[in-house]
Amino acid sequence: MSFETLGLSPALLRALAEQGYTTPTPIQLAAIPVALAGRDLLASAQTGTGKTAAFALPLIERLFTTPRLQGASRKPRVLILTPTRELAAQVHDSVRDYAKYLRVSTTAIFGGVGMSPQTQTLRRGVDVLVATPGRLMDHMERRNTDLSGIEILVLDEGDRMLDMGFLPAIRRILGSLPKQRQTMLFSATFADEIKQLAAQFMRNPEEIQVAARNSVAATVTHRVHPVDAARKRDLLLHLLAADSRRQTLVFSRTKHGADKLVTFLEKSGLSTAAIHGNKSQGARTKALKEFKNGKVTILVATDIAARGLDIDQLPIVVNFDLPMVAEDYVHRIGRTGRAGAEGLAIWLRPKKVACCATSSACSSRKSRWKMSKATSQAAR
């Protein structure tokens, strides 16, 4: 199967060819025809499977084939909600790249940066609005945008948005959208809460589940290094120094721990940056950009960075600490082994593990960390 046979316009196909996409991924094959037909869609796919294009391509195609009438208002026609600022920026970039040869405008709206440039863009009008729920609510309260023209709604990383406590905001936002619309809900897992959300806000959605529930890419090799807690940092340094040119994402459980690790690694001569909830948006964007372009080889992150970040060909993910919530382990190591590439996931396991986790932490319900969601949120 090719993108041509999925019925996408030549202008979209040209942009895809430039991105180096030749064959649709399984989630794209399954989702694009359903979405093009205007059906509601409830889709579960592993991270890194090409899910962004699975919703972005059909929505761009639908905007393109039913253009606005001349002189019609410039209210947004598509709303894409994402849990994090980084994911909003990334989805916006993808939509812009795919729609490069089409007259489809897009913008990203998220917190941590000034309101007024966003306000001006919203007032000028845009087709596709990619937003995090909190900042979108701020703009709605100031009447900077009118969502009554939304034809397509996408909820990306739905389970993550619920984990982060966005349900009340999502309900408010959904309440101001037209009832007559297409809704697509993408989620790494089909937790019961996700099913409930779908039952409430979607019309007879087509369910697509491409990957096994809570699984990770088969191309990832997992390695566990048992180590005395006091020697973890030295072991990390040893592993990183052994191949200091390889881009490595290191996960720390806490913001403070991440900062301490960065200081230690930098003192040891490794170019390192941190990304976590206490960093300003500018610092987060800069760290991610420098990691992506290779200026910085090591990025130390808390779980806020675990989902959705698209970093091409990331070869290694190191779990310096285990996450608060077992599911986050899957999302952490979903950063490597993407789109069929080889990946390596390393866990520096303290010899005395102070939690109920077992070695099959990512798959077993029993192995959930005994930590409340509130504690987990505070750490990010």
Q: What does DSSP assign to residue 7?
A: T
Contact segment (CB under 6 A) with ligand AMP among 18-26, 58-66, 106-114, 172-180 equals: 18-26
339 binds ligand AMP (CB under 6 A): yes
Question: Judged by CB under 6 A, which of 6, 8, 11, 25 binds ligand AMP?
Answer: 25
Residue 129: CB minimum distance to ligand AMP, A: 19
160 binds ligand AMP (CB under 6 A): no
135 binds ligand AMP (CB under 6 A): no
Residue 336: CB minimum distance to ligand AMP, A: 12
Contact segment (CB under 6 A) with ligand AMP among 48-56, 183-191, 242-250, 298-306 equals: 48-56
* Residue 233 φ/ψ, nearest 5 degrees: -60, -40
Question: Judged by CB under 6 A, which of 6, 11, 15, 24 binds ligand AMP?
Answer: 24
Q: For residues 317 and 344, is the Cβ–Cβ distance under 8 A?
A: yes
| Residue labelled with tokens 């309101």 | 115
248 binds ligand AMP (CB under 6 A): no
Residue 257 burial by Cβ neighbours in a 10 Å radius (0-12, 13-18, 19+): middle
48 binds ligand AMP (CB under 6 A): yes
Beta-strand ranges (E) seen in 27-167 are 41-44, 78-81, 106-109, 128-131, 152-155
207 three-class SS: strand
Q: DSSP secondary structure string, 268-304?
A: TT--EEEESTTS-HHHHHHHHHHHHTTS-SEEEE-GG
155 three-class SS: strand
Question: Judged by CB under 6 A, which of 6, 34, 42, 50 binds ligand AMP?
Answer: 50
Question: Judged by CB under 6 A, which of 12, 40, 51, 81 binds ligand AMP?
Answer: 51
Helix (H) or strand (E) run with residue 134 in it: helix 133-141
310 binds ligand AMP (CB under 6 A): yes
* Residue 87 φ/ψ, nearest 5 degrees: -65, -40
Helix (H) or strand (E) run with residue 56 in it: helix 51-65
Helix axes 51-65, 85-98, angle to 10 degrees: 50
26 torsion bin: left (phi>0), alpha (psi -120 to 50), beta (else): alpha
307 binds ligand AMP (CB under 6 A): no
Question: Judged by CB under 6 A, which of 21, 110, 186, 320 binds ligand AMP?
Answer: 21
Contact segment (CB under 6 A) with ligand AMP among 36-44, 46-54, 252-260, 354-362 equals: 46-54
Residue 351: CB minimum distance to ligand AMP, A: 36
Residue 27: CB minimum distance to ligand AMP, A: 8
Question: Judged by CB under 6 A, which of 44, 49, 105, 187 binds ligand AMP?
Answer: 49
355 binds ligand AMP (CB under 6 A): no
Task: Please report, as ranges, the residues that interact with ligand AMP according to CB under 6 A.
Answer: 21, 23-25, 28, 48-53, 310, 312, 338-339
